[in-house]
Amino acid sequence: MAARLGRQLLLRRSPAPSVRFIIDELAFRRPSASEETWEGQLAHVEAVARWPNVVVQVLPFSSGIHPLMGKGSLTLLWQQDGSAAVYTEGDSSGQLLDDPQDVMHHRLSCDRLRDLALTPSDSLTFIRDVLEEHRS
């Protein structure tokens, strides 16, 4: 948990990195243990989605099965020198890959996922609607 909270701080450093999150609809539909925590999490994602350096896209259930389903999280990292790496993380392990073919394979998978996701604007509307449903 501490590592994940620390990564959030990276979004606020100067200069701020440009980031894109593609989040499965399930993450917005499965509530946490307490209503207050759940509402706080939804509100936080909605607020971060409005930051100028952040793009949030929701992958709706209607997208069906996709190439990254069940594989945990995927992070694509581009450096200023043009190099790139991929970090995959599952339940019990993480793996950093920097082989150009591995990076290209994961980048194409991520591109396909982005194409299936709602637009950033529609995603923000979706998040707000889920938050409103939760509050009512």
Nearest to 11 by CA among 47, 57, 38: 47
Across the strands, what pairs with 24? 59
Whether 21 shows a pLDDT value over 90: the answer reads yes
**Helix/strand number for the chain, H first, E second:** 5, 5
Residue 11 pLDDT level (bands cut at 50, 70, 90): confident
Note the pLDDT of residue 51.
Answer: 95
Whole-angstrom distance, CA of residue 117 vs CA of residue 81: 29
3-state secondary structure of 76: strand
The answer to whether the bond into 31 is cis (omega within 30° of 0) is no
pTM here is 0.85
Note the pLDDT of residue 12.
Answer: 82
Whole-angstrom distance, CA of residue 107 vs CA of residue 100: 10
User: How many Cβ atoms sit within 10 Å of the Cβ of residue 42?
Assistant: 22
